[in-house]
Amino acid sequence: MFKSVIQRLTLPSEVASDKQQLGWQIRTVRKSGQTIKGILFYLTILSLSFVFMYPLLYMVSKSLMRPQDIADATIRWIPKEFSLINYSIAMQEINFWRGLLNSTIISFGSAVLQVLSCSLVGYGFARYRFPGQAFWMALVVFTFLVPPQTIVVPLFTFFLDLGWVNTHLPFIVPSALGHGLKGALFVLIFVQFYRRLPSVFEEAARIDGAGAFRTYWTIMFPLAKPAMLVVFLFSVVWHWNDLFQPNMYLLVPEYFNLAQNMALFNGNANLEFQQATQNISASSAIGLAPTLQNQIMAAAVLTLLPVLILYMFTQRYFVESVERSGIAGE
């Protein structure tokens, strides 16, 4: 009898301890699962990041190598001695400062004008109804789908008759008119963004007596900052890296951008080889040969550097703008 009473008294405490132990085990399993998921997630991100970062790391590594480091099979990533002579030679060969000025005029000038013009066109398509709207929107999409290579001959003839060849006008003027490189895509981005804005802003402006253009310029346009940043960065990068259209309209080296100068880069391997081997013995120089690989990589880094610096300062706002502009899909 006493044993049964004791068992009844001790049973609840044992059950409680078992529940606590079981709860602790469940929490441990959950934490372990979350930890494993986190490790797998970061391993996947690091692996994908390395795939995209590998070319850039390779360029930077090779651009800092001397000819003897390039010829040394034991050196893969880190040279025995870092050298900046490749950048000095590359800057001279690609006419860096002149090319940088031309690239800046074409890229940033076109980007600013495309933000202003494409925003206005996109606002008209998104917020107003007018005769033939579907037809004109179809034409906008059509200009985006047509490859520029198919119309380059009539465009070149047209710009040649206007006297715009060997000037920046073939890039600036179309951008100011809501077109230019990828202009149709930028119009569609603004159309998508303006359609998501509530109509109460325009109604309030009409009550206050504002007209259509004033409503757009003072109220709707400032609200489109996320879309403006996306369009601006896309336009800058695409104009900066474009080589097809500049080769068609810019035929004088004075107007070449960095991409064109990079494409025509021939380097000076003999100069670098002489400077690199002047302080080593003749026996150490045996087997070495002039190489352009490190100079080409230095020129590529110089060409990409302005865009990378721009993205470093704007990547946070760019990611936020992509999410808010609606181009990522919903």
User: φ and ψ at 313, to 5 degrees?
Assistant: -85, -15
**DSSP one-letter string for 103-143:** HHHHHHHHHHHHHHHHHHHHHHHHH---TTHHHHHHHHHHH
Tokens 């398509």 -> residue: 125
Task: Please name which of 137, 132, 109, 118 lies closest in space to residue 182, comparing C-alpha atoms.
Answer: 118
pLDDT score at 24: 67
| Three-class SS state of 322 | helix
**Quick one: pLDDT band at residue 287, thresholds 50, 70, 90?**
very low
The yes/no answer on whether domain 95-264 falls in CATH 1.10.3720.10 is yes
Tens digit of each residue's pLDDT (9 = 90 or more) over 258-279: 999 988 887 655 555 555 555 5
Q: What is the pLDDT of residue 209?
A: 86
Contact yes or no for 228/325 (Cβ under 8 A): no
Residue 220 neighbours by CB under 8 Å, 6+ apart: 123, 127, 194, 197, 201, 202
Q: What are phi and psi of 301, to 5 degrees?
A: -65, -40
CB 68 within 8 A of CB 286: no
Tally of helices (H runs) and strands (E runs) in the chain: 17, 0
Residue 217: both structure tokens together: 């310029």
Show the tokens assigned to 328.
């990522």
What are 231-244's pLDDT values in tens digits? 999 999 999 999 99
Specify the pLDDT at position 316: 77
Q: What is the pLDDT of residue 103?
A: 94
Mean predicted confidence (pLDDT) in 251-257: 90
Answer whether residue 86 shows pLDDT above 80.
yes
pLDDT band at 9 (very low <50, low <70, confident <90, very high): very low
What span, in angstroms and rounded, lies between the C-alpha atoms of 100 and 301?
A: 13
State the amino acid at position 100 in one-letter form: L
Residue-level pLDDT at 31 = 78
Residue 158 scores a pLDDT above 90: yes
Residue 93 amino acid letter: E
Q: Is the pLDDT of residue 308 over 80?
A: yes
Residue spans of the domains in the chain: they are: 2-63, 95-264
Q: Which of the given ranges, 41-45, 204-208, 214-218, has the highest pLDDT on average? A: 214-218
Instruction: Residue 216: count other Cβ atoms within 10 Å of its Cβ.
Output: 20
- Asked if residues 280 and 67 have their Cβ atoms less than 8 Å apart, the reply is no
Residues 260 and 246: beta-carbon distance below 8 Å = yes
pLDDT at 2: 44
Q: What percent of the chain has pLDDT over 70?
A: 82
CA atoms within 13 A on the CB side of 211: 2
Query: What is the distance between the alpha carbons of residues 62 and 261, in angstroms, rounded to a whole number?
Result: 20
The candidate with the shortest Cα–Cα distance to 173, out of 228, 249, 240, 100, is 249
Q: Would you state the pLDDT for residue 25?
A: 67
pTM greater than the 0.85 cutoff: no
